[in-house]
Amino acid sequence: MGLLEGHQVIVTGASRGIGAATARRFVDEGAAVALIDIDADRGKRLAEDLDATFHQADVTDSAALTDAIDAATGAMGGLTDLFNNAGVGNVMDLDAYDDAEWHRLIDTNLTSVFTGMRAAVPHLRAAGGGSIVTNASQNGLRPTRGEAPYSAAKAAAIALTRSGALEYGRDGIRVNAVLPGFIRTGLNDFICDDPELAGPIEAGTPLGRIGHPDEVADVVVFLCSDLARYVTGHSVVIDGGSLLVNAQVDPLLRGFLGQ
Ligand SMILES: NC(=O)c1ccc[n+]([C@@H]2O[C@H](COP(=O)([O-])OP(=O)(O)OC[C@H]3O[C@@H](n4cnc5c(N)ncnc54)[C@H](O)[C@@H]3O)[C@@H](O)[C@H]2O)c1
């Protein structure tokens, strides 16, 4: 028997990458799944493959996302879990971002999380409780250069996760976040396959390798399952330990240890 038998799950940003991998894991664990994405071609193909439903929406359009969540819930006959996963990034100096790009990154990575949570809560209450998981990022704890709006959005998504946990615990709704480090998703194969580019990333990761989407999916499944029934408001870092690297005193202590 799967960990999520009887669950009815929505995944946003589900057409590829971490969203697609997680949708597949949800199905493997026995859940009914609905996919939401702006990319209808890939989304419909995946839905067919997984025996899921697909609902096209741009998550930055709050009315469209709300309608898609309502339609997906109707198609499954209820909702027990939402994975707020859709996100986009960009890299440039902070002062090079114009207003439009700032808003695109904030709306996709943060406002969609708020809208998704707001739209899902009535359905989760109707189900007698459930779980919301948001895909934030390690960047929400430690920003990377060139990703100021993205990092700000992910930090705020972590705060929103804690607010949701605080407000909806008595409804039986748990709200958590996953914070991936660098994960191979297909789009970044050119980095992962080039030793010159991948080498420094691996060197900065105690587990010594780049992560896989299934390794994020497994944690999301755990957070939605009954195994995590007393876990809420938490942010789980999935980064092979890379946040541990380069503490301020590391170079000094490496010197003491002769390394
Ligand atoms: N890959 C990583 O290294 C990494 C690390 C940390 C966090 N994350 C987070 O994981 C999540 C998924 O990232 P990924 O690497 O799988 O990315 P990806 O680009 O492979 O997939 C993102 C999906 O979101 C969809 N999407 C984008 N904008 C949308 C919009 N406005 N409306 C609806 N759908 C939209 C895309 O069509 C795509 O299917 C994101 O929130 C990202 O910030 C990824």
Active site residues: 150
Over residues 67-103, the pLDDT tens digits come to 999 999 999 999 999 999 999 999 999 999 999 999 9
CB 58 near ligand 1, within 6 Å: yes
**135: β partners:** 178
Q: How far is the CA of 18 from the centre of ligand 1 (A)?
A: 7
Q: How far apart are CA 80 and CA 219, in angstroms?
A: 17
Do 56 and 38 contact (CB within 8 A), yes or no? yes
Identity of the residue numbered 232: T
Those residues with Cβ within 8 angstroms of residue 188's Cβ, 6 or more apart along the chain or in another chain? 182
- Helices 112-126 + 62-76 axis angle, to 10: 30
Query: pTM of whole model > 0.85?
Result: yes
Tell me the DSSP string of 102-161: HHHHHIIIIIHHHHHHHHHHHHHHHTT-EEEEEE--GGGTSPPTT-HHHHHHHHHHHHHH
Query: Could you identify the atom of ligand 1 that is nearest to the CA of residue 211?
Result: 3
For position 186, what pLDDT does the model report? Answer: 84
CB 38 near ligand 1, within 6 Å: yes
Confidence of residue 150 (pLDDT cuts 50, 70, 90): very high
Do 239 and 205 contact (CB within 8 A), yes or no? yes
Judge whether residue 187 has pLDDT over 90. no
CA dihedral 38, 41, 45, 47 (to 10 degrees): 20
Q: How far apart are CA 33 and CA 27, in angstroms?
A: 7
Those residues with Cβ within 8 angstroms of residue 156's Cβ, 6 or more apart along the chain or in another chain? 110, 140
Confidence of residue 226 (pLDDT cuts 50, 70, 90): very high
Tell me the DSSP string of 74-96: HHHTS-SEEEE---------GGG
Q: How far is the CA of 15 from the centre of ligand 1 (A)?
A: 9
Q: Token pair of 233, please?
A: 């408001």
Give me the mean pLDDT over the 2-26 stretch. 98
Q: What homologous superfamily is domain 8-256 in, according to CATH?
A: NAD(P)-binding Rossmann-like Domain (3.40.50.720)
Residues belonging to the chain: 259
Give domain limits for the chain: 8-256
Top mutation candidate among 185, 188, 190, 210 for ligand 1, by most atoms within 8 Å of CB: 185
In 3D space, the residue among 248, 18, 237 whose CA is nearest the CA of residue 138 turns out to be: 237
